[in-house]
Chain A
C-alpha cells in the first residue's frame, strides 16, 4: 500500500505539489490527470525517488520502476537498450514482440521515431519485475494504435505481476479505459478522486468539471 501524508514540493516560493493525504491500494491501477504544470510528473518523480519532497512523508514498496516522460535511447540497438535494464535476452525479445518492435530489434535505438522510442522505453521497464510501476505519460508520443497497444501491454503486465500502477496522462483513452481510479490534479492539489466514470459524471470542482468536459465528446 502507498500512503502519502502532507506531501509538499516547493521550488522557492512556488508550491508545485500539495497532497495532505492519499492512499493507493496494492494492485490498483491509478491514472493521474491534469493540465500542464499540475504536478503529475512531480508526484511520480517523488514516489519513484527521482526527486526529494520539501515536506511530508510517504510509504512505497521496495521495488519501483519509473518510466520518464522523455524516453531516452542509449547507444546501440534495441536489444542492447533493453538488456541495459538488466533483463535476460528471452524476456527482451518477448517484450519487443508484445510491443510490436521485433522487426526493429537490430536497428539503432537513436534512429527510432518518438512513438517507437516510447514503446522501447516501456519494453525496457516492463522487462523487469516490480511492486510499483510509475509511467509518466507513456502514450504521449504514440498514435492511436500505439496507445491502445501500450494500454493492453501495461494492463497485461499489471494482471500478471499484481503490481500497483500509477500513470500520469493527458489521454482520456488511457484514463478512462485502463485505470480503475482517476485522480485529477489542479495546481498541485487533488481536485477529484474516484473511479473514472464517477469522476467524469461528478467532478469535484468547477475546474475539474471544465477539465473533463472535453473527454465526454
Chain B
C-alpha cells in the first residue's frame, strides 16, 4: 500500500525528475522500436516468404539471437562505442542514442523472428489466392501486409514491450546518469540497490501503468484496423 501511495504522490502532482525519466524511457523505446521494425519487418517478410538454401540455419541463428542476454548486447555495444573502440570517435557512449543502438541489437532479431513465422504460416493462403488471381509480387506483398496488419502490429507492440522493460543493456551503455540517461528500469534498479524498496516498487507501478496505457492505445488501434 505504501508503494501505491508513493506512486500516487509521484504522479499527482507529477515529479519533475520522474517526468524526465518517463520522457527518456518513452523516447528510447519509441526510436528503438521504430528502427528495429524498419530493419526487422522487411527482413522477416523476406525470410518468411522465400525458400532458399541455408534458411534453416538462418532461422536457428535468429532464434538464438532472440534469446541474446541483454547484458551481452550491452557489453558488445559498450566495446564498440568505448573511447578505444572502433566507434569511439562518435563520442556516443552514455547517451540515449547508444541506448537505442543496444536496444535495436536486442529487439531486431525478435522482430525478424516473429515476422518471419507469421509470414510463413498465416500468409500462405493469401499468397496462394493472390497468385491464383494473377497478381504481381508487389500487389501480393501489399495484400499480405494488409491482411496481416493486426499480427504485424502485435510484433511492433512486442518490440516496444521488450524495449521499455529492458534494463541490463541500457544500464551498461547508458550509465544510468541522472537527468540524462536514466530510464524507468535503471531507476528502479538504483532505488532497489539503495534499499528504497517501496519507492522502487512505486516506480514499477508507474512503469506498468505506462505499459498498460500504450498497450490499451495500441489494442484500440488494432481493433479499429481489424474492424475496417
Query: In chain B, residues 98-137, which have Cβ atoms closer than 8 Å to a Cβ of chain A?
Result: 125-126, 128-129, 131-134
The answer, among B132, B147, B226, for a CB contact under 8 Å with A125, is B132
> A75 touching B133 by the CB < 8 A rule?
no
Q: Does B146 contact A (CB under 8 A)?
A: yes
Chain A interface, number of residues (Cβ within 8 angstroms): 23
Quick check: is B228 within 8 A (CB to CB) of the other chain? yes
B63-86 interface code vs A (CB 8 A; 1 in, 0 out): 000000000000000000000000
Interface flag for A67 (CB, 8 Å): yes
Name, among A76, A84, A86, A134, the residue most crowded by chain B CB atoms within 10 Å (CB to CB): A84
Distance in angstroms between the alpha carbons of A124 and B135 in the assembled complex: 13
Q: A72-B125, A75-B228 are in contact. Are A50 and B132 (CB under 8 A)?
A: yes
| Chain B residue with Cβ nearest A69 | B128
Q: Which of A50, A63, A70 contacts B131 (CB 8 A)?
A: A50
Closest A residue to B129 by beta carbon equals A72
Q: Does B143 contact A (CB under 8 A)?
A: yes
Interface presence of A162 (CB below 8 A): no
Q: Say yes or no: B126 contacts A72, CB within 8 Å.
A: yes
Report the minimum CB–CB distance from A58 to chain B (whole Å): 17
Chain B residues closer than 8 Å to A84, beta-carbon distance: 133, 143
Q: How many residues of B contact A (CB 8 A)?
A: 13
Q: Which residues of A have CB within 8 Å of B128? A: 50, 68, 70, 72
CB distance from A71 to the nearest CB of B (A): 8
Say whether A68 contacts B133, CB under 8 Å: no
A63–B147 touching, CB < 8 Å:
no
A65 and B125 contacting across the interface, CB-CB below 8 Å: no
Specify which chain A residues have a CB less than 8 angstroms from the CB of B226 in the assembled complex: 75
Q: A74-B147, A75-B146 are in contact. Are A128 and B133 (CB under 8 A)?
A: yes
Query: In the complex, are the beta carbons of B228 and A65 less than 8 A apart?
Result: no
Known A-B contacts A70-B125, A72-B125, A75-B228; A65 and B132 likewise in contact (beta carbons under 8 Å): yes
Q: Which residues of B lie under 8 Å from residue A64 when comparing CB positions?
A: 134
A128 to B135, CA, bound (A): 12
Q: How far is the CB of B57 from chain A (nearest CB, A)?
A: 18
Nearest CB of A to B40, in Å: 24
> A68 is contacted by which of B132, B134, B147 (Cβ under 8 Å)?
B132
Q: Indicate whether A93 reaches chain B with its CB closer than 8 angstroms.
A: no
Asked if B132 contacts A67 (CB within 8 A), the reply is: yes
Contact residues in A for B131 (Cβ distance below 8 Å): 48-50, 66
Q: Contact at A74–B133, with CB atoms within 8 Å?
A: no
Q: Once the chains are docked, how many angstroms separate the CA of A114 from the CA of B129?
A: 16
On whether A68 and B228 interact (CB within 8 A), knowing A74-B143, A74-B147, A84-B143, the answer reads no
Which residues from chain A contact B132 at a C-beta distance below 8 Å?
Answer: 48, 50, 65-68, 125, 134
In whole angstroms, what is the CA distance A76 to B125 when docked?
16
Residues on B with C-beta less than 8 A from A134 are: 132
**Interface residues of A, Cβ cutoff 8 Å to B:** 48-50, 63-68, 70-72, 74-76, 84-86, 121, 124-125, 128, 134
Could you name 21 residue pairs across A and B whose Cβ atoms are closer than 8 Å? A48-B131, A48-B132, A49-B131, A50-B131, A63-B134, A64-B134, A65-B134, A66-B132, A66-B133, A68-B128, A72-B126, A72-B128, A72-B129, A74-B126, A74-B143, A75-B146, A84-B133, A85-B133, A124-B133, A125-B132, A128-B134
Instruction: Please report B residues at the A interface, Cβ cutoff 8 Å.
Output: 125-126, 128-129, 131-134, 143, 146-147, 226, 228
